[in-house]
Chain A
């Protein structure tokens, strides 16, 4: 009798234990843990967010009217809007009319056109770091977004604005649509609900915000109202500042995806069958800015050409980036519409020397301003600068490196105070105009201005490209512009880095777009 009782107890225990283990295992299979350095995450409010890590979180919580399909950024596809038309307005402007699909917010309320008006006008009223996309780039203001009925909303744009650029920027965080009835009651002290939205969410995307423990983790859970849920019901983004810590955590199975791998660690991961490696695209460009103003060292284009001939792009990619980058020499990098991937300059030290001699700049000595920390692709800026310095020295240019924190570097650069500067650029929205205007148009007071390069033809082409709607004509204009800036502009492009991502071999369906979007609901985990 006693033995029987004991045996029954044992069986019950074993069953209970295996059930518990089974439950824990299935929880592991539906939970995705991403380790990364998320210190740049400042807000989870789509109307304010302007950071890469914000994009990962927000795009999975808030749907936009239009979006890109995975990594394909060549054209926008329906999001909350199932269709849209572009029409000429009286008075020269255009309008885009969006027809909303049937969808619910995670709060259970249906998505209405009044929510679109609310979300857009709220972003303009807050005036956060990304609001210039609406006010400056799209020319929007209070009253530009009009709800025609519950499911139809019209966006009115001034004549100078190209509606296809506006569609592109609506895919970004700031285009996220939130539930007005949920957010409005949580406005505090005129903050438009910004504080509340950092700990709650009110979107219609596949996930909702469960909690954000600052500097520890962001936890997302599946939105029960989302019509096509993925297999991952819980996503945990753990803060891991150290690339080394991410590596050990991934190898021990503690995390499923590691966001920040160094080139060396990435190379080792490529040989590890327990891991999958991804070289995901970026629109970043690492470049040298050459001050071309009157009296500046690079006023003469022959001197700028000499720098372009002197720099060894391939060696930088092979020996420093260990392959995590690609060559590029124009202002519109691969992946954007109108991209020009032509290689205009192959390394030629003799040619560089003779150009310098022709320009009377033999023995040129300049100050080379570089930031502290890591440059594109995760390599130390100091290492990259040393390589560039050595390349230039071979051609007879002495570049004296001056290293400073990035914020101080920006201040000097913004005041046209640099001679050569090591800098990076990525467009604010995935449209060629996001690069063409700032990098070519002196009057835009941006990068071309900082390098004191005033070329009226380049400015004219950039403006024409921005306002032309026909894609074929637009591409042709950008073709002329990229060639002009590549051969006469104030830049020596160095490379376009990849963003290395490493996942466990069990993770399937991972895609990161060059804009930083990751559709978490398309990811699954093998047992």
Chain B
């Protein structure tokens, strides 16, 4: 197991390096000049030249890459061309909001998707199954930005049940920043009003972002359950006279969990991509908004930073999933 872990962590470094190299390569191929983007239309030629020199943009690409890798080795992601701040500071500011949103969306996906999948499998071909399958199809096929605008129009503008964009009502004061995760910070500060408001603000974007994942989880659970339910040990358990709920939730679900676990890793990828659109529409100050603003400003160091963080998060989650396999299925052993 230890050898496996070491190997995986080693390959993780390569994955992240590969992602970074790809991002750098793309940034060099894009036929646009970050200096022109940063200084705008009115800039004098001398200003553009000075800007390029100051930030090393006048050096050949391979030199820029070596310089970048050298500072990366010391944990320095460089400075953002747009905000002028160290990118690590920017990421520290923006990552918690995305983390909060992504986790909330994931929880939604599991809390809604798993029961829906179980019910659909147990009542196969019944009206409930049909309902779940239809919803899963719609949820999986609906573009996130469309759903976001629709939900905002309905629950915020028309019905007024839920607050609009943003993380917190403008008149409420955010608690002191500890983790940057607003709900957690409010909890730590014991500020119940902020906690309630933050949760209400979180509801819609998490639901929208989680819609696709919910659909995917429901379908995965359904098909995995169907397979397990038709196996001999389930029939044996039923024959022993165990109650149906116990057979389904204990015997079948545990065995159906493995494929679901497998998609969790790739779900995170979908959530991170979805976050870019969701955050823009919901004015959510996270990595997605940051990535959008950085990309439109051709702020390549910032885009590289976001890419590396996303790549790292994705790899770590997938590693965790692999480790969790062992927990769920003792037959699996890594050598």
Contact = CB atoms under 8 A, between A and B. Distances in A.
Interface string A213-225: 1111100000000
B93 A240 contact: no
Chain B, interface SS category: loop
B157 A31 contact: no
A315 to B, nearest CB: 26
B157 A251 contact: yes
A244 B149 contact: yes
Nearest to B163: A254
Contacts of A236: 170
Nearest to A415: B45
B290 A215 contact: yes
A252 B157 CA distance: 7
Interface string A132-176: 100010000000000000000000000000000000000000000
Chain A, interface SS category: mixed
Given A248-B157, A424-B41, A214 B33 contact: no
Contacts of A28: 171
Contacts of B163: 254
A411 B38 CA distance: 12
B301 interface: no
B171 A132 contact: no
A448 to B, nearest CB: 13
Interface string B135-176: 000000000000001001100110010011111011100100
A181 interface: no
A497 B285 CA distance: 30
Interface in A25-43: 27-28, 31, 33, 39, 42-43
Nearest to A127: B50
Given A239-B283, A239-B285, A425-B41, A42 B94 contact: no
B59 interface: no
A1 B280 CA distance: 60
Residue among B43, B50, B164, B293 having the largest count of chain A Cβ atoms under 10 Å: B164
Contact of A214 (B47, B90, B167): B90
B171 A27 contact: yes
B165 A240 contact: yes
A424 B45 CA distance: 18
B170 A254 contact: yes
Contact of B280 (A127, A242, A254): A242
Residue among B48, B160, B170 having the largest count of chain A Cβ atoms under 10 Å: B170
B32 A445 contact: no
B164 to A, nearest CB: 5
Contacts of B171: 24, 27-28, 31, 33
A407 B31 CA distance: 9
B77 to A, nearest CB: 16
Interface size class of A (residues with CB under 8 A): 35 or more
A356 to B, nearest CB: 30
B34 interface: yes
A407 B51 CA distance: 14
A214 B93 contact: yes
A240 B84 CA distance: 22
A124 to B, nearest CB: 14
A522 interface: no
A265 to B, nearest CB: 13
B47 to A, nearest CB: 6
B84 A42 contact: yes
A505 to B, nearest CB: 19
Contacts of A408: 31-33, 36
Interface in A388-442: 405-408, 410-411, 414, 423-426, 428, 438
Given A214-B93, A248-B153, A240 B166 contact: yes
A129 interface: yes
Contacts of B48: 414
Contacts of B90: 214
B37 interface: yes
A175 B112 CA distance: 57
A259 to B, nearest CB: 13
Interface in A187-206: 194-195, 198
A373 to B, nearest CB: 8
A381 B34 CA distance: 21
Contacts of B83: 42, 214
Contacts of A245: 152, 164-165, 281-283
6 contacts: A43-B84, A132-B44, A238-B166, A245-B164, A405-B37, A428-B42
Interface of B: 31-34, 36-45, 47-48, 50, 82-85, 90, 93-94, 97, 149, 152-153, 156-157, 160, 163-167, 169-171, 174, 280-283, 285-286, 289-290, 293, 298
Given A239-B166, A408-B31, A411-B33, 4 more contacts: A127-B50, A245-B282, A414-B48, A424-B41
Interface of A: 24, 27-28, 31, 33, 39, 42-43, 127, 129, 132, 136, 194-195, 198, 213-217, 236, 238-242, 244-245, 248-249, 251-252, 254-255, 405-408, 410-411, 414, 423-426, 428, 438, 445-446
